[in-house]
Structure 1
Amino acid sequence: MRRRARNRIPQQWEPVGTVTEMFMYPLKSGRRVPIDKANCTEYGFQFTDPSLPHFRDRCLVIYQDTTKEMKSARHHPKILLLEAGIVDRDNFSLSAADMGSVIFKVPDLTAEKNHVILIMHTEELVSTLDCGDEVAEWISNYVLGKPTGLRLGFHDGTHGRDIEKYYPKETARNPHLNNSAGGLYSDLATFHLFTKSSLEDVQAKIPNANITMNNFRPNIVVGGDIVPYSEDDWDWIKIGDVIIRKTMTVPRCRVTTLNPESAEPLKNY
């Protein structure tokens, strides 16, 4: 992996490290899916298998059935333990250790009844396709302990988000954060990159906290002889043939304070 800071795509690159791990999070706030390759799209990671076009990073989102408000692990920590998978071209799955699994179809884009407008952060309105009653009941039972209350939405990747309209403070502070930088249902940016050296520095400062890379939920992990947090200054990043530009440093939410394996809060430090 190589990088160099310039206002336009560099022609020469400085080696800084090696990609050691990659992850997708098909369900927003859900469990990670380790991957060894992926297509890098304008909306984030996508499975490379052309027969499985629907499996993308943060392509699934849980929302409240009456208010249509997005719900994440910030509201319901148990969502962290839900694992999304793909069965075939037309079917996804969700599973949890104490709930088994449920299989549901990729929603039909042409069915008007499937179209829903979600309310994301800062009252952002985003389109979704509802995934049906069976998976909605399964999620509600798992998260709420009752058969109603939550539903599941799917983003088919055919439209973007109006980041500039709904996040004026963030775009003012980060000039490269704009409508071309938003993911599907990620909070803001398309990719999250983190270095192992930054993690090791955090671990050294709070050694009893049992913090791992999974607390920070990165898409791309970079290893090597790297100064901790120096990734904050990498304006341009080249991984193989893919070039990405830094849009912002990540103001990680309180989900980092939850144990990703149990969904229980970490001890206060």
Structure 2
Amino acid sequence: MVGPHVASVCVYPVKSLRGVDVPAADVLAWGVQGDRRWMVVLPDGEVLTARELPRMLGVRATPVDGGIRLAAAGLPDLEVAEPAGGVADVPVGLSRLDRATSGGPRADAWLSEALGRPVRLVWLDDPRRRTVSESHGGLPGDTMALADAGPLLVTTVASMAALNGWIADAARESADPDGPSRPPLPMERFRPNLVVGGDLEPFEEDTWAGLRVGDVELRFSERCDRCSLTTIDLDALVTTKEPVRTLARHRRADGRTWFGVRVVPVTTGRVHVGDPVTSLR
């Protein structure tokens, strides 16, 4: 038996692009440092996500000192510096945020080529400008970067194993001859910031009031409802039926499917892979 611990820490510098696993990260009041401070918008400022354009998940963003590195097949990597001191003058169509700062014409041109359509890269200068909605468990003073609804997402290895077991069972029962041979879905489909491993029951996280990782305390804000972004095959960059089809059979409530929990930092500090995790009830 292995006690609950941090199995992985994940950072997604650009909303809807691929991210990276890191050995440790600072948790700030608005989430993991460097997580979702950037996003891709259309020329009119509307936010573009992989739900509309799956090929976005073929571009990886890695945090580097003072900025990010963008990588995509067929293109040279591009480093983009944080436009510190720049004016937040780009209108954007994101909830609870009306403007952001341009990442510059080089970044716009590179991403436009990578994605096959005209886009812009923008940066959130100050996450304190964006609050967590009360409808998503936010309290006065809660802030976040550019994630959809909460500062951090937490999932567990036990829940992922249960989900993959359900998918495998359904494949064996189906008439699809290739179903049983398909590999398990990766946790990356769900884009968590913290993955908790160890001796846990599947979906135990739904019952937590929060969790403590070292000196960092995180408050439960809500379960996470899952959208079509989780159905994108990260290799083929096409939309599939899983995992939403199976979640709809086993984890459907209130007309939605659920996997993982959103949490809000109560205290700040550094978290590491391997850190013990204590659930709060």
TM-score (norm 2): 0.75
> Secondary structure at 2:223's aligned position in 1?
coil
Q: Distance in 2 between matches of 1:16 and 1:200?
A: 17
Give me the whole-angstrom Cα distance separating, in 1, the residues matched to 2:166 and 2:123.
39
Counterpart in the other structure of 1:18: 5
How is 1:27-176 mapped onto 2 (pairs within 5 angstroms)?
27-46=14-33, 56-66=34-44, 68-89=45-66, 91-109=67-85, 111-112=86-87, 115-121=89-95, 124-144=96-116, 146=117, 149-157=118-126, 159-164=128-133, 171-172=134-135, 174=136, 176=137
How far apart are residue 93 of structure 1 and its match? 2.2
Q: Secondary structure at the match of 1:204?
A: helix
**Pairwise CA distance, 1:87:** 4.5
User: Counterpart in 2 of 1:168?
Assistant: none
The Cα offsets for residues 9-66 of structure 1, whole Å up to 9 and x where unpaired, read as xxxxxx96111111000011111211111111012111xxxxxxxxx10011000112
The residue type equivalent to 2:109 in the other structure is E
Q: Percent identity?
A: 26
Deviations 1:180-227 (CA, angstroms, capped at 9, x unpaired): 444211001111000111001110111246411111111111111211
Task: State whether residues 42 and 119 of structure 2, in contact with CA within 8 Å, keep that contact through their aligned partners in structure 1.
Answer: yes
Residues 192-207 of structure 1 mapped to structure 2, 5 A cutoff: 192-207=153-168
Q: Is the 8 A contact 2:49 2:56 kept in 1?
A: yes
Q: 2-side partners of 1:267 and 1:86: how far apart?
A: 31
Paired residues for 1:254-265 under 5 Å: 254-265=228-239
Return the letter of the residue paired with 1:94: L
The letter of the residue matching 1:133 is P
Say which structure, 1 or 2, has more relative contact order (CA 8 Å, 6+ apart). Answer: 2
Aligned to 1:52: none
1:250 maps to 224
- Residue correspondences, number: 229
- Runs (4 or more) in structure 1 with deviation over 3 Å come to 178-182
Deviations 1:151-197 (CA, angstroms, capped at 9, x unpaired)? 00011335331444xxxxxx34x5x3245444211001111000111
Q: Distance in 2 between matches of 1:64 and 1:203?
A: 36
Look up the SS of the partner of 2:146 in the other structure: coil
Verify the 8 A CA contact 2:59 2:71 in the aligned structure 1: yes
What are the ranges of 5 or more consecutive residues in structure 2 without an aligned counterpart? Answer: 169-178, 246-281
> What is the rounded CA distance, in whole Å, between the counterparts of 2:143 and 2:203 in structure 1?
23
Counterpart contact for 1:22–1:220, Cα < 8 Å: yes
- In 2, Cα distance between equivalents of 1:158 and 1:246: 20
Provide Cα deviations, 1:121-160, integer angstroms capped at 9, x if missing partner.
5xx433311011111111112112x5xx210001133533
Does structure 2 conserve the Cα–Cα contact (< 8 Å) formed by 1:107 and 1:130? Answer: yes
Please name the residue that 2:271 is paired with. none
Q: CA 1:88–1:195 in structure 2 vs 1: closer, same or farther (change >3 Å)?
A: closer
Q: Distance in 1 between the 2:62 and 2:23 partners?
A: 16
Q: What are the ranges of 5 or more consecutive residues in structure 1 without an aligned counterpart?
A: 1-14, 47-55, 165-170
Q: Is the 2:16–2:49 contact (alpha carbons within 8 Å) kept by the matching residues of 1?
A: yes
